[in-house]
Amino acid sequence: MKLALVGIGEIARAQHVPAIAASPDWELAATVSRHGTVPGVEGFTDIDEMLAARPDIGTVSLCLPPVPRFQVAAAVLAAGRNLMLEKPPGATLAEVHILADMAQARGLSIFASWHSRMAHAVAPAKAWLTGKTVRAGRIVWREDVRRWHPGQEWIFAAGGMGVFDPGVNALSILTEILPQPVRVTGAELDIPDNRQAPIAARLQMSGNISADFDFRQSGPQTWDIEIDTDAGAMALRMGGNLLEIDGAPVTGSNDITGEYPALYARMAELVQAGTSDVDLSPMVLTADAFTLGHRNTVAPFAF
Ligand code: NAP
């Protein structure tokens, strides 16, 4: 199946292009990006031009930051093409509800992808937690924004979500593996004096679950989720890739290159079945943290 990729930047180059190239399901038939291209692939700079020129392309995958994404996404669906969205699937919840309704009304597939849910140990962690009672949980998601998002000014602008850009990955795993619903009960947001979005955040959630997100981590990076239950404790480390039960490694791998191939395999399944996959629960927790959060002004930040 032919696919177009929109927004040829960090994640498109690092993950989407190689995953599509290795996929038995997909052919990268066009790109849309103002500056970026992929060698050997027809490049457009405008979404409407691409949609008009290439009626043979049935699916479009968006790798844009969240704020500019809705207009492009709506144009894709209005033109009768299936749509795959990077995480978070929009800048607001309403945007994604509208897109999901558009897709349903037109009989198209829409996939709000959460790449961290495809990490090696997420499915085994979910299986282990099934039927157990969660007593407490701790998320620690601390990374260096200068290393992973160099110069990405959008991430600290309104709608860029700041440290929730990686934090929502943790929330996407949490909402996937927990055997019970979860809600935010309180939050604290540290916002640099010269920015609009938080550089660090601490969340309290139901079930005695907490989260500690920080973009100022130097040295080793931490992407851990620990859950205590009535029948032992589990820990997911390395962004959901390694599983420990009661302190002992059980399964997983440090190799994260399987996440995007799994997303494209899932998109192929959705298109072939004529169905959609839109789970907004990680974004609901994010939005609720912004709604409930106490704001602290912290030191200005520069890349
Ligand atoms: P990026 O490199 O900053 O942006 C991707 C592309 O989007 C840019 O190359 C640019 O292409 C286009 N773009 C940027 N700002 C725009 C604007 N205001 N209006 C229109 N187009 C704009 O970002 P990224 O790191 O790839 O992230 C994109 C999405 O992927 C985000 O939602 C992010 O959460 C997600 N993601 C990122 C990572 C990562 O590690 N970077 C990992 C997983 C998921 P042109 O200028 O050529 O149009």
What residues have CB less than 8 Å from 81, skipping those under 6 apart? 51, 57, 58, 59, 60, 108
> Per residue in 69-85, pLDDT tens?
999 999 999 999 999 99
Per DSSP bridges, beta strands 2-6 and 59-62 are: parallel
Query: b vs e for 237-251, b when ≥16 Cβ sit within 10 Å of the residue's Cβ?
Result: bbbbbbbbeeeeeee
Mean pLDDT of 200-212: 98
What's the confidence (pLDDT) of residue 257?
82
The long-range contacts involving 35-43, CB below 8 angstroms and separated by at least 24 positions, are 35/8, 36/7, 36/8, 36/9, 36/12, 37/8, 38/5, 38/8
Q: How far is the CA of 159 from the centre of ligand 1 (A)?
A: 13
Q: How far is the CA of 170 from the centre of ligand 1 (A)?
A: 20
CA-wise closest residue to 123 among 273, 267, 236, 231: 236
Contact 153, 261 (CB under 8 A): no
Instruction: Report how far residue 201's alpha carbon sits from residue 295's, in angstroms, rounded to the nearest whole number.
Output: 9
Q: How far is the CA of 12 from the centre of ligand 1 (A)?
A: 8
Contact 270, 108 (CB under 8 A): no
Instruction: Report how far residue 145's alpha carbon sits from residue 267's, in angstroms, rounded to the nearest whole number.
Output: 29
CA-wise closest residue to 9 among 32, 41, 40, 42: 32
> Per residue in 143-184, pLDDT tens?
999 999 999 999 999 999 999 999 999 999 999 999 999 999
What's the confidence (pLDDT) of residue 114?
98
CA-wise closest residue to 164 among 91, 218, 96, 240: 91
% helix / strand / coil in the chain, to the nearest 5?
35, 30, 35
Residues with catalytic annotation?
A: 87
Which amino acid, 262?
A: A
Domains of the chain: 2-112 (3.40.50.720), 116-255+287-298 (3.30.360.10)
Instruction: Report how far residue 171's alpha carbon sits from residue 33's, in angstroms, rounded to the nearest whole number.
Output: 29
Instruction: State the average pLDDT for the chain.
Output: 97
Instruction: Report how far residue 29's alpha carbon sits from residue 59's, in angstroms, rounded to the nearest whole number.
Output: 10
Q: How many CB atoms lie within 10 A of CB 32?
A: 26
Please state, for a pLDDT cut of 90, what percent of the chain lies above it: 98
Residue 256 has pLDDT above 90, yes or no: no
Q: How far is the CA of 253 from the centre of ligand 1 (A)?
A: 27
Give the pocket of ligand 1 (CB within 6 Å). Answer: 7-12, 33-36, 63-66, 68, 86-87, 115, 148, 152, 154, 165
For ligand 1, atom 38, the nearest C-alpha belongs to: 11
CA-wise closest residue to 23 among 33, 31, 15: 15
For ligand 1, atom 37, the nearest C-alpha belongs to: 11
For ligand 1, atom 5, the nearest C-alpha belongs to: 9
Residue 99: what are its φ and ψ, rounded to 5°?
-65, -40
Residue 255 has pLDDT above 90, yes or no: no
Report the atom number in ligand 1 closest to the C-alpha of 149: 41
For ligand 1, atom 9, the nearest C-alpha belongs to: 9
What residues have CB less than 8 Å from 165, skipping those under 6 apart? 88, 149, 155
> Per residue in 42-59, pLDDT tens?
999 999 999 999 999 999
Token output for 5: 């990729």
